[in-house]
Amino acid sequence: MRLAAAANESYTASLAVSGLLGCHQCGGGRGQDEELGIRIPRPVGHGPSRFIPEKEAAARHQCSYLVNLHVNDFLHVGGDPKWLNGLENAPQKLQNLGELNKVLAHRPWLITKEHIEGLLKAEEHSWSLAELVHAVVLLTHYHSLASFTFGCGISPEIHCDGGHTFRPPSVSNYCICDITNGNHSVDDLQVNSAGNISVSDSFFEVEALMEKMKQLQECRDEEEASQEEMASRQLRKDDDEATPARDVSRHFEDTSYGYKDFSRHGMHVPTFRVQDYCWEDHGYSLVNRLYPDVGQLIDEKFHIAYNLTYNTMAMHKDVDTSMLRRAIWNYIHCMFGIRYDDYDYGEINQLLDRSFKVYIKTVVCTPEKVTKRMYDSFWRQFKHSEKVHVNLLLIEARMQAELLYALRAITRYMT
Ligand SMILES: CC(C)C[C@H](N)C(=O)O
């Protein structure tokens, strides 16, 4: 792919340059630059991710590159640099999108057909329906991209804001790039070896999770075998329908994360029932009608992310992980107030532990607050590639949630 290739080139180039400068890892440490009186910028971190060791992170260039590409392309095609100074410098028509963008990014459940009407009926600054759908797709795409960037700790390129430092590169017996990168000095390693318990703890975490999945599967098999049980499930489902809001909030009560945010604003926001409006039956066709082919592409993207599996769980192979992946997807939709009547939400609490929920919630709702500690604390035995896989699920579920609210509001406006 063009983007990936270009990203690799620029990344290789920056490594080549840093290789000339000293520290074989970050390029710092020689001092000749100071002797010449030139301040040479050094990368703040090493490799494309602050969370993932460089040797494991090749696929992540694309993301930080895309952000640069977006600004650079804008300027290349003759875009007015003033627009980049703030929305108030952009044309009124674009400024009008600001409110929708804000609500979409932070509280999409508050989007109403009035938001849509305001954009479509703004006299000479009006958006057409097709333009608006196009804009919504772009906005939601970039919100999700931000989640991925922060969720994987993608570092800015050396020539971008925050991507370099002029600080002296060496601190005691290791380079500054090691500190930001999570590589450890001898002292740190001693601390770690004293903390062996945590390694075995994390081993048992995987075993416990596998055991829970097995139990849930067994329960499910039994349920499916019993007609009587099927009938009582239907009864339970009916009960759930009677009190949807309370049921959803139940899964977020232990911390300040999650559903509390959804209901905090003192107004009653009804649960979004997928049975009434879903991507497959409604959103997809609306997008396709107004923005031909793109509905299809987004649909494929959702399917790929949702169904992707390597059938692994940390060191275990040949595992059916569909239950776990579904729990992750539904947990995210749950945070946005989106509910599936045919799903037993108890599974979420059984399969996702607190540190994992904290990470998911932060990546999806406030991605800028994700820390390396959060990234490291969940699923400690899992591979980095599996955590990146989690991020793919998170960002697609987030994008679909935002799209569902925006498209439903458009549908309501149209009917
Ligand atoms: C997100 C993880 C549960 C993914 C798992 N390693 C799989 O391939 O299915």
Position 239 pLDDT exceeds 50: no
Q: Report the C-alpha gap between 258 and 358 in whole angstroms.
A: 9
The DSSP code sequence of 88-146 is GGS-HHHHTHHHHHHHHHH-GGG--HHHHHHHH--GGGPPPHHHHHHHHHHHHHHHHHH
Separation between Cα atoms, residue 302 and residue 400, nearest integer Å? 8
Residue 53 has pLDDT above 60, yes or no: yes
Q: What is the DSSP letter of 154?
A: B
Maximum CA pair distance of the chain? Answer: 83
The encoded tokens of residue 24 equal 């074989």
311 CB under 6 A from ligand 1?
yes
Among 109-123, 173-187, 313-327, which stretch is predicted with the lowest mean pLDDT? 173-187
Confidence band for 56, pLDDT divided at 50, 70 and 90: low
Kind of pairing between the strands at 338-339 and 272-273 = parallel
What's the pTM? 0.73
Of the pLDDT bands very low, low, confident and very high (cuts 50, 70, 90), residue 113 is very high
Q: Is a pLDDT exceeding 70 seen at residue 232?
A: no
pLDDT at 47 (0 to 100)? 74
Ligand 1 pocket member 390 (CB < 6 A): yes
List C-alpha distances in Å: 287 to 3, 102, 200, 301, 410: 26, 21, 49, 14, 10
**Residue 383 alpha carbon, nearest atom of ligand 1:** 6
Report the first-to-last Cα separation within the chain, whole angstroms: 41
Which region, left, alpha or beta, applies to residue 109 given φ > 0 means left and ψ of -120 to 50 means alpha? Answer: alpha
pLDDT at 49: 82
What residue's CA is closest to ligand 1, atom 2? 386
pLDDT in tens, 7-29: 333 333 333 333 333 444 444 44
Evaluate: CB of 325 within 6 angstroms of ligand 1. Answer: yes
Answer yes or no: are the C-beta atoms of 352 and 327 closer than 8 Å.
yes
- In this structure, of 27-36, 141-150, 284-293, 309-318, the range with the lowest mean pLDDT score is 27-36
Instruction: Give Cα 16 to chain centroid, integer Å.
Output: 31
Q: How far is CA 289 from the centre of its chain?
A: 28
The per-residue pLDDT for range 29-52, each reduced to its tens digit, is: 444 455 667 777 776 666 778 888
Q: Which of 103-107, 128-132, 188-192 has the lowest mean pLDDT?
A: 188-192
Which of 5-19, 53-67, 264-278, 316-330 is predicted least confidently?
5-19
pLDDT over 90 (residue 252): no
Query: Which residue, chain included where needed, has tokens 């080139």?
Result: 9
- Which of the two residues, 301 and 224, has the higher pLDDT score? 301
Q: For a substitution probing ligand 1, which of 316, 319, 332, 389 has the most ligand atoms within 8 Å of its CB?
A: 389
Segment 232-253 shows an average pLDDT of 37
Mutate to test the pocket of ligand 1, among 152, 206, 304, 310 (most ligand atoms within 8 A of CB): 310
- Other beta carbons less than 10 A from residue 186's beta carbon: 9
Look at ligand 1, atom 4, and give the residue with the nearest C-alpha: 386
Query: What confidence category does residue 257 fall into, taking pLDDT thresholds of 50, 70 and 90?
Result: very low
User: Among 138-147, 252-261, 347-356, 364-373, which range has the highest average pLDDT?
Assistant: 347-356
Instruction: Give me the chain's average pLDDT, please.
Output: 76
**In this structure, which residue's CA is closest to atom 5 in ligand 1?**
312
Query: Across residues 109-121, what is the average pLDDT?
Result: 96
Residue 322 alpha carbon, nearest atom of ligand 1 = 9
- pLDDT per residue over 371-392, tens digit each? 999 999 999 999 999 999 999 9
339 φ, ψ (degrees, to nearest 5): -130, 140
Length of the chain measured in residues: 415
Average pLDDT rounded to a whole number, residues 329-348: 94
Does 365 qualify as catalytic in the annotation?
no
Question: Is 165:18 a contact under the CB 8 Å cutoff?
Answer: no
Active-site option among 63, 175, 177, 334? 63
**Range in 167-171, 240-244, 296-300, 342-346 the model is least confident about:** 240-244
Q: Which of 213, 325, 328, 360 to mutate to test the pocket of ligand 1 (most atoms within 8 A of CB)?
A: 325
pLDDT value at position 116? 98
- pLDDT, residue 292, reads 87
Atom 7 of ligand 1, residue of closest alpha carbon: 309
Task: Give the integer Cα–Cα distance in Å for 203 and 215.
Answer: 19
Place of tokens 């694309």: 62
Q: CA separation (Å) from 172 to 166, 168, 186? A: 17, 11, 11
Q: At CA 157, angle to CA 155 and CA 160, rounded to 5?
A: 110
pLDDT for 259? 31
User: Mean of the pLDDT values across residues 84-99?
Assistant: 87
Ligand 1 center–CA 217 separation, angstroms: 17
Take atom 1 of ligand 1 and give the residue whose Cα is closest: 390
Q: Which residues pair with 338 in a beta bridge?
A: 272
- Indicate if ligand 1 lies below 6 Å from the C-beta of 321: yes
Say if CB 135 and CB 406 are below 8 A apart: no
pLDDT of residue 294: 94
Which residues neighbour 397 within 8 Å (Cβ) at sequence distance 6 or greater? 305, 328, 329, 332, 333, 364
Q: What is the pLDDT of residue 44?
A: 65
DSSP element (H, E) containing 171: strand 170-171
Q: What is the pLDDT of residue 86?
A: 73
Q: ∠ at Cα 44 (87, 70), nearest 5°? A: 35
- Of 398, 324, 314, 404, the closest CA to residue 363 belongs to 398
